[in-house]
Amino acid sequence: MLTLENKVALITGGTRGIGLAIAKLFKNLGAKVIITGRNEERLKELEKENFLCYKCDISNKEEVDRVIKDILEKMNKIDILVNNAGITKDALFLRMKDEDFEEVVKVNLLGTFYVTRRVLPSMVRQKYGRIINMSSVVGLMGNIGQANYASTKSALIGFTKSLAKEYGRKNILINNVAPGFIETDMTAKIPEKLREEILNKIPLKRYGKPEEVANLVAFLASDLNTYITGQTILIDGGLY
């Protein structure tokens, strides 16, 4: 039976889309769920739903250190970490501004590094942990106008594999989930003509739902998963 009873789970970027779907499912499965995000208004709304919420820019390592320290003081442990926070700053490569490339790297890659580095010691001490990094099918297949985003999502594959090798002996399982095109605020910005082109390339002939990604993440985060680590698992309707 899939359950997260007595688990403490931290989800970055959990105020909307895939992150929020994961947070809600985790809570329904019995976990104590902590959400970080940058939208203070949304965080206040989610606190009313019994989530522990923190405003946190994960690209700011001092802010990450402060927030994780406070979480550990309150909860004593973090069993599950979902590195979901991410941004896009799309443009054709030769039109892409330096700051747009750099900001995507800071949030998607460095932010994941900062949070993971701060959470891992507590998992090592308890000899238990589940870390799920949120990559993207774009990190495997590339995408026009997303050289920055694709680079960071591809980098998470190597990041995941390396940490899985380092910390497997401590019973910490670390995996990478790579969603395809999922119905979120991010994909809603795709022009209609391009949406149709993408749809034609997906064998299942539809965009995915955040809840479908959440189901996969929940399995990887649970004690039903005892032997999967270092993997990148696509959930893309057969696109790639």
Number of Cβ within a 10 Å radius of residue 26 = 27
Options 114, 149, 167, 207, the catalytic residue: 149
- Give CA–CA dist 212/67, Å, rounded: 29
For the chain, what is the total number of helices (H) and then of strands (E)? Answer: 10, 7
CB 70 within 8 A of CB 53: no
Sheet holding 8-12, edge to edge: 52-55, 32-37, 8-12, 80-83, 129-134, 172-179, 232-235
Pairing of strands 232-235, 80-83: unpaired
Check if 167 is active-site: no
Task: Find, among 83, 113, 65, 44, the residue nearest to 55 by Cα.
Answer: 44
- The catalytic residues are 149
